Structure 1
Amino acid sequence: MGFGHIMRCLALVKQLKQEHDVYILSSALPLNVTAQIDAAGATLISVNIENVDFGAIDDADNEQLEAMQKLHAKDCLADFNEQLDLLFVDHYQLSAPFCYIMRSKINTIVVIDDLANRVHNCDVLIDTNFYHDYQTRYNGLIPSHCHTLLGPTYAFLRSEFFCIDNRIRANNHFLVCFGGSDPINLTERVVDILTTLKSSPFTADIIVGPGYKHINSLRLKIQSLVGVNLHQNCTYMSSLMQGASFMLGAGGSMHWERAKSGVAGLIITLADNQIETTRALHDSDCCLWLGGENELADDHICKAIEKALHSPDQMRYLASNAAKLVEPNQSPSFVVDTILEIVKRYS
C-alpha cells in the first residue's frame, strides 16, 4: 500500500471513528505506519493480498484470479462473526470477485479507485482524480445501482487542510516533496540541483516522509544551503504549503492537498498512474507538468525552478485554477457525510 493510500485511509478513520468501530485490513505494513493507525483509533488486522497486474491478465488467467480473490475475501471475513455496516476497498489488486464474497457480511461496499481497469461490485465508487473523461471512465465497470462520486470535489483531505491561513506568501519560497518514501531519491537529486541555482535568491522547505531512507546524506547537503530547511514526517504540511509560492513534487493525492492550500504545483510524475491526471491538470492550467522522472535532465528541472521563481503571477494563476476544483469540499467530513447520506437514503 502506497503512502498516499495510507494517508487517505487515516483521513477516513478519523471521520468514521466518531460514531463507528473501525477496522483496517491490510497486508504487512511498516511499524511507523501501524503506530499511526493505532493512534488514529482503528484496529489493524493483517491479511495477505498478492500483487496482480490487471493490465497483463488474459482470459486464461481470469479463472485463477477470481479464485484467488475469493480466497482473500474468505480470509478477511474469518475475523468477523457479526454483520458489518460498511466496507471501503482501496486496493489496486482487488475487484468484483473479492467484493462478491465480502457481501455475505457487508451491508454496503465503497470502492476507491483511479485506474478504471477492472470490474467492481460496489454500491458507491469514488475516484477523486481529474481526467478529461472522468465522468464516463467507469461506464460498464460498475453495477447499474452504483452511485459515483467523481472528481477532486471528493478528495480525502485531512483536517489540517481546512485551516486556512491567509498569510502573505513569499514569491521566492517553495517546497520540495515527493511523497512518503521517495524510493528513487528524487529529493536528494533536487537538493543537488539547488546547490547550482545561483541566479535567483530563494528559500525552501524540503519534506520527506517516514519511509525515506536517505535522511543522513540529505541532511548533510541541506546544511550547506542557506535558507533551506528539512522536515521529516511532519504533521503540518498544510501550513508549509500555505507559506509557499509553489511546490516541486509528485502527482497523486498531493495534487488536491496543494489545491486546497492554494499553492501552485510543478509536477514530476513518478509512476504511470500519475500521468493521465497530471496531464489533464496541466492542460487545464492547474499545474505545470515537467515530465516523468526518468526523462528529465537536471538542467530542465533547474530552469523550471528559476522560471517559477521569476513568475509569481503565473504561480498564483495556476494555484487559483486548481483551488476551484476542490472548492465545494468545505469540511473534513464532507466525503464521509456524503457516503453515509447515500447509505441512509438507499438502505
Structure 2
Amino acid sequence: MSTVLVTGGSGFVGGHVILQLLEAGHTVRTTVRNLSKEAAVREALTKAGATNLDKLSFFAADLEKDDGWAEAVAGCDYVQHVASPFPIAQPKDEMELIRPAVDGTLRVLRAARDAGVKRVVQTSSFAAVGCGHGHRDTPYDETDWTDVNGEAVQPYMKSKTLAERSAWEFVTDEGKGMELAVVNPVGIFGPALNGDLSTSIELVKRMLEGKLPGAPRLYLGAVDVRDVAGMQVKAMTDPAAAGQRFLATAGGVLSMADMADILRAGMGEKAAKAKFRELPDWLVKLVAIFNPLAREAVPRLGIKGEASNAKARDLLGWKFRSNEESIVASGESLIRLGIVQPS
C-alpha cells in the first residue's frame, strides 16, 4: 500500500477521500490549516466508521503559505489535492478566491514534484467545464472548458477554471514526469461527516428546516460524495487515468423543487418542511436590484447545464449512485448528526 497526502482533510470531500484511502489500507497524511482541528476530524471519521486511524497523521499547511508543504509531502507516493476555497457568497474582489486557488494549486504541485510524487489527483469542478456558455442542448464533456469571460461567470467559477488550467500547464512544463488526473464534480451531496457543511449540504439543511420558502428557477447536477471520493482513489492508481479529467455526475439536472420532492419522498415526515414555491423570473430580477445573491442568480435562470458521465463509466468503470440516494443521504445524515431536528 502507498503513502498518500490529502490536502484539506477537514472538508466534506477530503474527509470521504481519507475514509476510502484508509479502508483500502493506505497510509494517509492530511493537511489542515491549524492542528487544533485534528481531534474533531478524527472524531468525525470514527463516527463515520473509519478503521486504521493509526495510519492517519496530520500536518499544518496553508494554501497561501509555503510553510509545511515540503514536510507534509515528503515520502508520499501520491497526492489528493482536494482543498480549495468555496464560499456561500461571492467576494467583492474576485482575486480573494482566484489567488489562493491558483497559487495554492501550484504550491502543492511544486512540493509534490520536488518530493518525487508519482501522481497528483486534483478535485476541480463542473464550474471549470460548463459555465459562461449560456443555454446548450447537448451535455458538456471533458473536452469543454468554462469561458472565464462569459456571461454570469462568477469568481468561484473563474477560480476553479484557472486553478485547473494552471495545474495542467505546470505538469506539462515543469512536472518532470509527474502525472496528473482531475475529477470535476457537479453539486456534491451525500452523507455529511460533521457540522462543517459544504454549500450543497447547507442547501439541504435549509430545506429541511423550512428556511427556504421560495427559490429561483435554477438547475444543477448532483453526485454523491462517496462516488467523488471513490473516483479520486481510482484515478490515483489506474494507468488509464493519467493525464485525464473526469466529470463526476449521476446524470441529469435538478431544480430546487425537484430536490425538495426527493427529500419528502425519501424521508417522509422528517422532511415535511421541505417545500416551497418556485419564484417567477420577473420577481427574482426585481429583487436583484437590491439583493446581490439574487443578482448572481439572474443570468443562470432556467439554464440547464447537463454533464456527461460517459468517460467516468467507460474509462474508470464507475457506477454512480442515483440523485435520489445521494440527496436523501444528505438529509438523513443531518438528522443523525443532530444538525437538523426532525419535523
Same fold (TM over 0.5): no
The TM-score normalised by the length of structure 2 is 0.37
Report the structure number with the largest CA radius of gyration: 1
Q: Report the TM-score when normalising by structure 1.
A: 0.37
Answer 1 or 2: higher relative contact order, Cα 8 Å, separation at least 6. 2
